[in-house]
Structure formats: structure tokens, C-alpha cells
Structure 1
Amino acid sequence: MRFDEYRAHDAVGLAALVATGEVTVGELLDAAAARMAEVNPKINAVTRDMTDIARAQLPFSGPSASGPLAGVPYLLKDLGSHWGGIPTTFGSRLFADAPAAADSSMTRLYRTAGLNIFGKTNTPEFGIWPVTESDLLGACRNPWNLSLTPGGSSGGAAAAVSAGIVPAAHATDGGGSIRIPAACCGLFGLKPSRGRVSFAPAGEGWAGASIPHAVTRSVRDSAVLLDATCAPQAGDPYFLAPPERPYAQEVGRDPGKLRIGFTDKALTLGAALDPEVAEAVRDAARLCESLGHLVEPAELPGDHAAMQAAARTILWASVAASIDAECERRGRPLADGEIESATHGIYRRGKATSGPEYVRAVQVVHAYGRAAAQVFERCDVFLLATLGRPAIPLGHLFEDPKLTVERLFGFMPNTQAFNNSGQPAMTVPLAWSSGGLPIGIQFVAPMGDESTLFRLAGQLEATRPWFDRVPSL
């Protein structure tokens, strides 16, 4: 199968070719592996090649395939979902030689859907940063411009999809880690509601802020993947009621006349949007208005600064707990050089966090979620920028430690809010900078209402298509 034929299809389209016998699963895997061999040395998106494992486990071909995505090549992020017997490194030397005890539920559900997993993708250490530049796995590069970041923490996933290695890839989002790289790489990225997708066998990530899903080129791929994975697992600490109908059936349905509130400002105090990004938000608002929606300015309630401080406390304590748990499992303390220096600072802060401080932080985050939900008393959807600016240069966050926090929230002022409110949020590649870089536009819905987002995304995709807009590398 030629690359141009392979890239012309999304995951649903490739599965249809397998189901009708036009291609075999092996031919799709060959196409994906060939593209990986061609471009991965340039972008460092795939950090563990599992092609031999995938070939050895090929269970089907042609019309005998089963599952909605049977035979489609797929990649796991090296964080958030385990493949039994293979290390999940979390981008850290600490976990580089620690094989996973068993598959995660997400991995099992992907296999049930028929996906052919053949590798793992790059991620920053413990998924902490919105760029993908770990000491262990190396810097991942943006296919649109190799001097820029693809975002993070699912930067490897987004770079692999954007570069055409796969049409969709597993991702997780604890502060924007699906939406940030999707926006940097010109992809569709949906963060589901808290409780929509299980983290089993783990309980939750970052007090419920983190949620797994995917980055995709098409809206329908995201919907089909969510249908395949939104099944509650035994012992989940919380879960949502199932959707009224499969999400795949929402894509293409008329969203009706939505009340859309929007802001062209940054949520983080002191941050400002790049002028091109702010104009892209206003353009998206006009686009929605032209589609018949009622669009008007709105503000997101809640103490954003207090939420960010509380989320920081939760992150510190969570990272410290993960490190201590691994040291306890292996029976020896943390050694010098096993985690990065910035992570070591976070570890120290986490160790110094008291139980009452952690509980209070969770309470602050929950209070923020209640306040943020008030915007939906007069809006069906909230529209704002995904990022403060297009993709930033590699190394930009860390070249001056005194500026790291300022640059961090200048880049990602608007995503963390919805991890901590728990609401579903998506980024849609509706705009491009004067330099030809993607600009993502973010849409948020009430808790549990991914269906409205999929209907709106399908309408936007049909009106302003992006599927064929790809980097040349």
C-alpha cells in the first residue's frame, strides 16, 4: 500500500478497507512501519518499536476481521496505559527497566476494538510539561517545523499522527496534554469528562484531573475510539452514565441552534493571547454565528489563580507518591540521576505537602468546578483559545529557570481549567498563523456532554475541513 493511499484514510476508513478485503492487516502495518522508518528519525515521536510484536500477533486479515477498528495501526503513549511485560517509562529513567505487570483496561479495550498496537510514543517525564523533552526519551519535534515543540505531554502521539505514521493515537490529558499537542500539530483532540474513561487498574490521575483518550485527524475517529473505551471497569472510583447513543452517531447530526459563549482573553491571570490567536478565536465565533448559533461574549466564573495553586499542590503530591511507590516496589531508594532535576524539585515539594494541605487542595479544585459550571446556565458551549500562542521553540520553557512559570502559562493559559472542573473540552484546528502553524480553538461543554461537542465538531469539520492540510516534512 502506497503512503499516499494510506494517508488518504482515517482510522475508520482504513478499517473499512480491511473489512472489505481491499487490504490486509499486514499491509496496513507495513505502510505504518515504513512511514515510521522514514520520518521518526526526524521527529522522535515513537520511542519504542513494537512492530515485531504486532506482526507476531496478527490475528486476522481481510473480511474475517472484527471490531470497529480492526487492523488499524495504533500507538500507545508511554504513560497512562500499560502493555503487560513491557516497561511504561513515563518518560523517566526511574521506570525505564520496570516491565508492566499486566495490560491496562485501555489496552484491552483497544485490542477488542481491533487496533493493531505496534509502538509507544514520546512523553515528558511523568507527563508534567506541555512540551515533550525528557532526558530519557529525548526531544520530540513538531512535523510542521522541526525547531518547534509538538506540545505535551502527548507530544509523541500528536507528532506521529501529524506526520502520517498513524491516523490516530492514544493520549492522556491532565492539564491539557491532549488538547495542547493537538493544537500544536493541527489535529482534533477531545478531553472527555472526568469519569468517562477508566484508568484501571489505577484509580485516578492527579485527583481526577487526568483522563485518557486520543488525538486524531478526523472527528469520527475520536468518536469511535471513545465508544470503544468508555466502558466502566469493576472498582472504578467514579463513572458517568452512558451516552444516549453511540458517539459515532453524533458526528454528522445537526447540533441545533447552540448558545455559545466566548472569550478572546486568557484565563490565567497576567497571561495574554498572541494577537493572531485572539483573532482566530473571534473568527471562530463568527464562523459559529454563520452556522446559525447564538454567539455572545462570556466569562468563566471561579477563582482561577486559587485553582492553579491547588492543582500544583495535587501534582506535587501525586508525583511524589508515584516515585515513592516505585522505590518501595523495587526495594531501594531513589538514586541520583533517576529523575530530572526539575522533577526532583517537584518531588521535594510533594514530600513536604501535608495530608491536610492535599485535602484542602482537592476541596479548592472541587469548588472551582462548581463555579465554572455556572457558565452553562446561559451557554450550551464555551469557546476560547486552546493555547496562548502557536507552537513554541524547543527548549523555550527551560532555557531560563526564572522565566519557566511565566512562559509555561503564557503558552497554556486556558486548558488546565477544564481538567479541574472535569468538563469535556475539545480543540479543533480551525485557524493557521501567518507563518503557517496550526492554531487550535477550544470548545467546552457541561459535564458528561461529549455528544454536543461531537455534533458541533462534525459541523465545523464539514464547514472548514482540515483533514488534507498536513505537514510536508
Structure 2
Amino acid sequence: MRQVHAFGDDALGELDAVALAAAIRRGDISAVDAAQAAVDRAACVEPHLDAIVVDDVERALRLAAGPLTGRLAGVPTYVKDNTDVAGLATRQGSRAMPDVPAAADAPFTTQLRAAGLVPLGKSSLPEFGWSASTEFDEWDPTRNPWDTAFSSGASSGGAAALVASGVVPIAHANDGGGSIRIPAAACGLVGLKPTRGRLAPDVHAAQLPVDVVCNGVLTRTVRDTAHFLAAAEAHRTAPGLPPVGLVEGPSARRLRVGLVLDSLTDTPTDADTRAAVLATAELLTSLGHDVVEVPLPADDTFVDAFTHYWAMLAFSTQHFGRRVMHPQFDKTATDPLTRFLAARFARSFWRLPRTIRALRRSEHVVRAHFAEHRLDAALSPTVAHTTPRLGHLSPNQPFPEMFDRLVRYAAFTPLNNATGTPAVSLPLGRTGDGLPIGVQLQALHGQERLLLELSYELEAARPFPRIQDGVAPLS
């Protein structure tokens, strides 16, 4: 096992984002000290991880030197490279996108800055976020800090690698089919996909017939996620949703939690992942919660509908990229996965209206399922098996085989994207080789507070694994 991390005796130490912001407020360290320490850590691990697309160090250090406000003022971070940062190109993980600086920040980047976070640059993702592993047809993959032979997940794989390795305590991620939760599971992090509309939306996704994309962050602690959500809410109140407020610990309320072990695919959850979920169910029971096994609130038609919609997004990008992505989009430069997904949609494009109806109906199905079983939350694997070795989900694999592998791996997360419900992946398990395993909790719309309270309780009862324990940092 080849582990890579940069935790050490510098301005960042082992602090999470909340503790780091408090140290900056007290004057123990400066925001410039924090930013420079993150830059130094990145220089140490980046040759092994390939998680950074572009640096914006000089501008970040200037920003850190100026007055900063916000709950997380002065904490360094990275923005995923599918979201505009003024002055930096948004390449979407693709050679098809031009190296042209964005004219303005995306709405979510503005929300991120309002929390006081200082972006150091852009993090990697697979082309347009289609895959569940941050791999490319010609570029080097982004590697998992827990073992560089393995995938860091996707599509927010670069963000996960940077947080897990200690470069920054928090980084932007977004989720259109599991892209916050999958890399959280792969890299041992907290990954909350909020309710649809909770945070500033993705500009392109908000125009879709079913908006499956939600912005968020990846962190190493539950409180960092909770404090970011509170900071984001202070900047922008989510229309039509109950406020979350600042969640600072568990609730005394005991919950009824539905347990789901297997997905809709015909491949059962692997042994290590199943054991992690069952151990979490036992822990919840020991804490006084009522855990009952329930079926998934969907059937095989959901898998077909979501994969067809996913292929439609690739088709729209491939054939209308100059309109929906950038006027200089080059359709001849997309990778094999984008082209194959686009072709797959073209063969049965006429099914799109039925697909949209099915995805919209899934929200009502989930609500009815929670009501029928009197559930407050549901527990499941985050992904169907432990994180794969690099190459397993490479876009250069034969498409039918790679597509089948993707569907089987990311089998639990897409339902929340279709329904718009919140879900969180927590690192509550380990493989025999020491790799993290993520366990997913989900609830109904607007119930982020419930998920965060439950996450706090589980984190306290079973502290999350730390990559730095027993392994020296790179120097």
C-alpha cells in the first residue's frame, strides 16, 4: 500500500476548517500562513496524486492578506473545474474545452467566497463528470491518497484527494449521480449532497427538465460540513426549504431508520461493504435507534431511466457543446466515454419523454416509501463495492464493459439526484487492506439537519479513520 499525505507541524497542523478559522480569528496564525502551508503541502503530494488542474496561488495569497469575513474566513480551498472562477478557465476535465478564462464567478463560487474560503486553484474531475473515477483517456489519473494504485472516486475526485491528503480541510464538490458521495466513500471523507435548491445551483443543470446536480463540499469532519452549510445559508436562503441553521451536535431524538443492503442491479453488495453497513446498523441500534430492513423505493425501470438521462446529457454536450458549454467547444476532442454515451442515447432518443416522467415520479415514490415504512432516514452502502483499482473504470475500456461496471458500482447514489433528496456518505468502514468504506444515510427533502445530527452521533461513537495515523508525511 502506497499512502500519501502531507499532515505535519505547520500552520495547518491537523486542524479541520472550523478549528483553522478559529485560529485565524484569534491571531494564532494568519490567513496567509494557512494559504502558504496549503501551497507547500500541495507541492509535496501533487506529483503523486494529480489532483490540481490549475494553480491560482498568487491571487490567493493576495486575497488571504486582505480583510476576510465569513464563518470560515481564511481557510484555503479548491474549486472543482466544472465551476467558473473569474480569471480561470473552466476545462471540465476535457480537451474539448478551450483554455479561456471565465469572465465572472459562478453563483456557487460567490457563495463559497462568502463563507470566507480562499480558493487556491481548480481541482480535477473526469470529462464532464460522467464517470465514477477520475481517469482520462490520455492524461494521468487522479490517485487515491490512501493507496495510489486505487481510484479517488468521481466526479469530485481531485477535491477528495486534496482533502484526504491534508492539503486543505475543505473543498468544493458537486453531485449529479453521486459525485460528492462516491469520492467521499473512496477517500474516507464526509460528503453531503444537500437537498435540490439548498445551495446555489449549477448554471447549466438548473435549465434541465430534471435538475440532478447539487453543489456542496467534501470535508474530514461532520462539523466542517455543518458550518459550511450554515455559512452558505447565511449568504443565500434556499427558497421553499426549511432553514438548517448551525447544527453543532447530535439530537436526543431517536429515529426509525430503513436498512437497504443491495441495489437494483443483479450484483450483490460486496462482503466488505455489506459488513460496514451492517456494523453501522448495529451501532445505530445500540444508540437507541430503530433499524428495520426495507426494500429500495425503486425498481429496474429507474436504472434504465437514469442511465438514459445520463446518456442524454452526454449527447447534448457532444452535439450542442458550443451552445451549452462554450462557443469554442471542440467535439472532435471528447474522450471515448462521452462519445459512446452520446451514441447510446441517439439509438433510442425517442424514449426521453418517458424517462423524464419516470425520474420526476421517483420523488413521489420515495415519499410514499418513507410514509409506508414510517421512516425518518435510510441507511445503505454509498457504492456497491470498495473503490476499484485505477484502470477498472478507465474511459479507454471497451464501452459496454465499462458502462456495465459504472452502473453496478454507482448503484445507490443516483436515486437522490433524481428525487432531489439529501444524502450523506460517512467513512464508517475499512477494508482488510485499510481502505475507507463509505456508508450512506438519506432523508426526505429539507432534512439536512436530521442527517447532520445523526452524522455527529455516529462520528462520536465511531471516530473516522485518519490517514496520518501511523504513516509519516511526505517531505
Deviation, structure 1 residue 435? 0.9
2:257 pairs, out of 247, 260, 267, with 260
Q: In the alignment, which of 211, 214, 217 is matched to residue 211 of structure 1? A: 214
Pick which of 118-127 and 218-227 moved more. 218-227
* Distance in 2 between residues matched to 1:84 and 1:289, nearest whole Å: 48
1:322 lines up with 2:317 in the alignment: yes
CA contact (8 A) 2:421 2:443 kept: yes
Cα deviation for residue 116 of structure 1 reads 0.7
The structure-2 alpha-carbon separation of the partners of 1:300 and 1:230, relative to structure 1 and needing over 3 Å to count, comes to farther
Match of 2:74 in 1: 71
Shift of 1:224: 1.6
Deviation at 1:458, TM superposition (A): 0.7
CA contact (8 A) 1:18 1:65 kept: no
Does the CA contact (< 8 Å) of 2:250 and 2:455 recur in 1?
A: no
Residues 270 and 384, structure 2, Cα contact 8 Å, conserved in 1: yes
Query: Is 1:270 aligned with 2:273?
Result: no
Whether 2:304 is the aligned partner of 1:306: answer no
Shift of 1:280: 1.1
The letter of the residue matching 1:252 is G
Question: Aligned in 2, Cα 1:192/1:129: closer, same or farther, shift over 3 Å?
Answer: same
1:27 CA displacement: 0.4
Other structure's SS at 1:283 match:
helix
Alpha-carbon separation, structure 2, partners of 1:208 and 1:57: 33
Q: Distance in 2 between matches of 1:2 and 1:342?
A: 36
Q: How does 1:17-416 map to 2 (within 5 A)?
A: 17-60=23-66, 65-79=68-82, 81-135=83-137, 138-199=140-201, 201-202=203-204, 204=206, 207-230=210-233, 239-243=239-243, 245-246=244-245, 248=246, 250-265=247-262, 267-303=263-299, 305-328=300-323, 334-336=330-332, 338-350=333-345, 354=349, 357-377=351-371, 378-398=374-394, 399-416=397-414
Once the two structures are superposed, what CA deviation does each residue of 1:278-318 show, in whole Å capped at 9, x if it has no partner? 11111100000111111111112222x21222222222222
Query: Using the alignment, how far apart are the partners of 2:421 and 2:445 within structure 1?
Result: 4
C-alpha separation in 2, matches of 1:296 and 1:447: 21
Is the contact between residue 44 and residue 140 of structure 1 (CA under 8 Å) also seen in structure 2? yes
- Alpha-carbon offset, residue 392 of structure 1: 0.4
Number of residue pairs the alignment of both structures matches: 459
Amino acid corresponding to residue 466 of structure 1 in structure 2: F
1:369 is aligned with what amino acid?
E
C-alpha deviations, 1:342-388, integer Å up to 9, x for none?
A: 2112233445665x633321110111221122232111010011112
Gap runs ≥5 in structure 1 = none
Segments of structure 2 that go 5 or more residues without pairing to the other structure are 1-5
Gap change, CA 1:323 and 1:86, over 3 Å in 2: farther
Q: CA deviation at 1:226?
A: 1.7
- Tell me how far apart the structure 2 counterparts of residues 411 and 202 of structure 1 sit (CA, whole Å): 26
Separation (CA, whole Å) in 2 of partners of 1:108 and 1:315: 28
Please report how far the alpha carbon of residue 467 of structure 1 lies from its aligned counterpart in structure 2 after TM superposition. Answer: 6.1
Q: Distance in 2 between matches of 1:467 and 1:17?
A: 24
Tell whether the 8 Å contact from 2:146 to 2:467 is kept in structure 1 after alignment: no
Out of 3, 12, 32, the residue aligned to residue 8 of structure 2 is 3
Q: 1:162·1:187 contact (CA, 8 Å) conserved in 2?
A: yes
Cα separation, 2, equivalents of 1:27 and 1:360: 54
Deviation at 1:264, TM superposition (A): 2.1
SS at structure 2 position matched to 1:147? strand
Contact 1:255 1:452 in 2 (8 A): no
Cα distance change of structure 1 residues 15 and 9 upon mapping to structure 2, 3 Å threshold: same
What is the rounded CA distance, in whole Å, between the counterparts of 1:233 and 1:201 in structure 2?
A: 16
Moved more, 224-233 or 206-215: 224-233
* C-alpha distance in structure 2 between counterparts of 1:256 and 1:167, whole Å: 30
- The 1:51–1:306 alpha-carbon spacing in structure 2 relative to 1, beyond 3 Å, is same
Report how far residue 55 of structure 1 moved: 1.7
Q: Partners of 2:406 and 2:283 in 1: how far apart?
A: 30
Report the TM-score, using the length of structure 1 for normalisation.
Answer: 0.91
Amino acid at match of 1:92: S
Letter in 1 for 2:254: K
- SS where residue 95 of structure 1 aligns? coil
The CA deviation string for residues 192-227 of structure 1, in whole angstroms up to 9 with x for no partner, is: 111212225445276211111011001111112122
Which amino acid in 1 is paired with 2:54?
Answer: R
Name the aligned partner's letter for residue 28 of structure 1.
A
The question of whether the paired residues in 2 share the 8 Å contact of 1:258 and 1:294 is answered with yes
Q: Relative to structure 1, is the Cα distance of residues 78 and 274 closer, same or farther in structure 2, using a 3 angstrom cutoff? A: same
The C-alpha deviation readout for 1:102-154, integer Å capped at 9, x for no partner, is 11111111112111101111100010000001246530000111110010000
Q: Distance in 2 between matches of 1:409 and 1:53?
A: 40
CA distance in 1, matches of 2:152, 2:328: 35
Which one scores higher on RCO, CA 8 angstroms, separation ≥ 6? 2
Secondary structure of 2:151's aligned partner: coil
Q: Is contact 2:265-2:408 (8 Å) kept?
A: no
Quote the offset at 1:240 in angstroms. Answer: 3.4
- Taking the aligned partners of 1:462 and 1:330, their CA distance within structure 2 comes to 46
CA contact (8 A) 1:78 1:91 kept: yes
Output one character per residue of 1:9-37: Cα deviation in whole Å (capped at 9) or x when no partner. Answer: 11011000110101011100111001000
Does the CA-based 8 Å contact 2:111-2:236 persist in structure 1? no
CA–CA separation in structure 2 for the residues paired with 1:299 and 1:316: 27
Q: 2:148 aligns to what SS in structure 1? A: coil
What are the Cα deviations for residues 20-74 of structure 1, in whole angstroms up to 9, with x where unaligned? 10101110011100100000110111121111121233343xxx64210110000
Match of 2:3 in 1: none
Q: Equivalents in 2 of 1:147, 1:103: separation in Å?
A: 35
Deviations 1:391-422 (A, max 9, x none): 10101124444422332233222111211121
**Secondary structure, aligned partner of 1:374:** helix
What's the RMSD between the two structures over aligned residues?
A: 2.4
The answer as to whether partners of 2:314 and 2:339 remain within 8 angstroms in 1 is: no
